[in-house]
């Protein structure tokens, strides 16, 4: 499972990534989770199973959805409350649900 997070600079989601990795480890889920800046997200999404966008960058969703559809992945905005609390478990669950419901 490959989970890509996008934010303004690739830095603001680093704590979220860490918390998601901890949650995945506790659940015994093997996955790669990484964050990138908006500048390279289109290239990186080719390697992902799902793309989650930081709430501060929600305006990117409409721009990125056509490209995500081309590569066969789902894209959504992280819930602001989950992001603000760095709730890695909730965000991981969102990503897993998106992947399970995606019919590539």
The residues annotated as belonging to the active site are 7
Which residue's structure tokens are 């989601």?
Answer: 13
3-class SS letters over 56-80: HHHHHHHHHHHHHHHHCCEEEECCH
Which ranges in 1-104 belong to alpha helices (H)?
A: 14-27, 41-44, 61-71, 80-84, 88-100
Contact 58, 37 (CB under 8 A): no
Distance (Å, rounded) from C-alpha 103 to C-alpha 29?
21
């Amino acid at each position: 499972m490959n989970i890509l997070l996008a934010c303004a600079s690739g830095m603001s989601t680093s704590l979220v990534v860490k918390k998601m990795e901890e949650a995945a480890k506790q659940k015994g889920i093997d996955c790669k989770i990484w964050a990138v800046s908006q500048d390279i997200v289109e290239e990186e999404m080719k390697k992902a199973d799902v793309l989650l966008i930081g709430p501060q960058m929600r305006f990117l969703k409409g721009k990125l959805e056509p490209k995500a559809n081309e590569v066969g992945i789902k894209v959504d905005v992280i819930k602001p409350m989950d992001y603000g609390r760095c709730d890695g478990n909730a965000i991981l669950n969102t990503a897993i649900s998106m992947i399970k419901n995606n019919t590539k």
